[in-house]
Amino acid sequence: MQITDIRCWLVEGQHPRWPFKWRKGLDGSGDGTPMHKKPLEAIIRVDTDEGIYGAMRVPQGPSVMSLVERRLKKLVGQDPLLTEKLWWLVWEIDRVEEIPVRHLGILDCVLWDIKSKKAGMPVYQMLGGNDPKVPVYASTITWDTMDEFERHIKYAMDKGFTAFKLHAWGDAKEDARLSRNLRKWTGDDADLMFDGSAGWDYVTALKFGRVMEECNFLWYEEPMREFELGSYKKLCDALDVPVLAAETPDGCHWNMATWIQLGALDMTRTSWFFKGGITGAMKVAHLSDSFGMRCQVHGMGLPNAQICAAIRNNDYYEQIIMSEAQIDNLVELGPLAIRDGHLTVSDAPGLGEDFDWDYVQRTALASV
């Protein structure tokens, strides 16, 4: 099998249907495109000599277009089934290109789309296969008031969610009050998590970690920027609540190995978009498993759903909740539909994205 073409179209996207905020200091939903303009996305497609193709839609369209035109086109003629080989070739490009971390895994995901279709098997089974029915945790946005948190959490509970993660305000005192309230609202049996979104220094992170212990949270996520591993090691040594970290650093499993060696985390983080595609995400998951560590999949989307169904040492699929209407809409998400707090990953071959190619070519702003 050979790659015969790698194409890319620049297309207009849409601003989020349900805009939201993160903690103070962080931008919220969307990619920062002003409201009077539409965000630009890319649709990348890899064709083969057997008529099987893979495709996906990704944000940051102009830079993806540039990467395809200048670098990825050179991989035409390669065997798309050799995902390991091509994963390494992309990292060779990264050595001279310094590819944005979110773009490192785009080609890899498209190749797994092809590989799955060729085999006639779902991706998660080809990756090993654990369980297509994956529990889901409700991952909050940052609402303005305590009452809004309570209302949305309880609404999600009524829809079958039993696990919840806070993205709070970034005020340690108020966030502590919210965390204690969350335990009261959900009861003792719910799995709870807190995401600090890298907002604190070591002293605040340590003091807040005591609240996490008091409330029996499942994990305490990214309280500090993921630069100074010594501070993370001190935090892990001082706390009993598991610290979840290494979400955003570049370097895939090589970087994760350093975090593990230094004892700077208790649970690892993986995703297709921060760890170099599906191949990179699986390397992190298996590395973690070899140390007896849980590896929590970060974020939503079709590739991440397949990873969740493939590995044993992940607990949940992450689903952001934004409003009551959006929570109601979760059952309408096709292959990512959530019912009774669970996601059932499709057994169909491929990642599940589908495109009207006539429409794409007719409306694209540019193409490679």
Per-residue pLDDT of 251-279, as tens digits, reads 999 999 999 999 999 999 999 999 999 99
Number of domains in the chain: 2
Planar angle of CA 258, 232, 288, nearest 5 degrees: 40
Residues 132 and 161 in one domain: yes
- Mean pLDDT, residues 200-217 taken together: 98
pLDDT (0 to 100) of residue 44: 98
**Judgement on whether residues 218 and 245 belong to the same structural domain of the protein:** yes
139 & 259 share domain: yes
Query: Could you tell me which of 38, 182, 159, 48 has the C-alpha nearest to residue 114?
Result: 48
Q: Per-residue pLDDT tens for 294-353? A: 999 999 999 999 999 999 999 999 999 999 999 999 999 999 999 999 999 999 999 999
Find the domain containing 31 and state its range.
3-120+351-367
- CB-side neighbour CA atoms (13 Å) of 336: 20
Q: How confident is the model at residue 159 (pLDDT cuts 50, 70, 90)?
A: very high
- Residues 109, 143: one domain? no
Do residues 277 and 108 lie in contact, with contact meaning Cβ atoms separated by under 8 Å?
A: yes
Q: What is the pLDDT of residue 265?
A: 98
Residue 7 and residue 83 share a domain: yes
Residue 200: the pLDDT is 96
Residues 111 and 132 in one domain: no
d(CA 72, CA 65): 10
Residue 109, CB-side half-sphere exposure with 13 Å CA sphere: 30
CB neighbours of residue 142 within 10 Å = 19
Based on the fold, state whether residues 196 and 94 are members of the same structural domain.
no
Strand partners, 270: 297
pTM of the model: 0.97
Write down the pLDDT at residue 110. Answer: 98
338: CB partners within 8 A, 6+ apart: 136, 319, 330, 331
User: What pLDDT sits at residue 338?
Assistant: 98
Mean pLDDT of the chain: 97
* Residue of 264, 256, 321, 237 lying closest to 295 (CA atoms): 256
Predicted confidence band of residue 158 (pLDDT cuts 50, 70, 90): very high
Q: Nearest Cα to 318, choosing from 334, 335, 341, 340?
A: 341
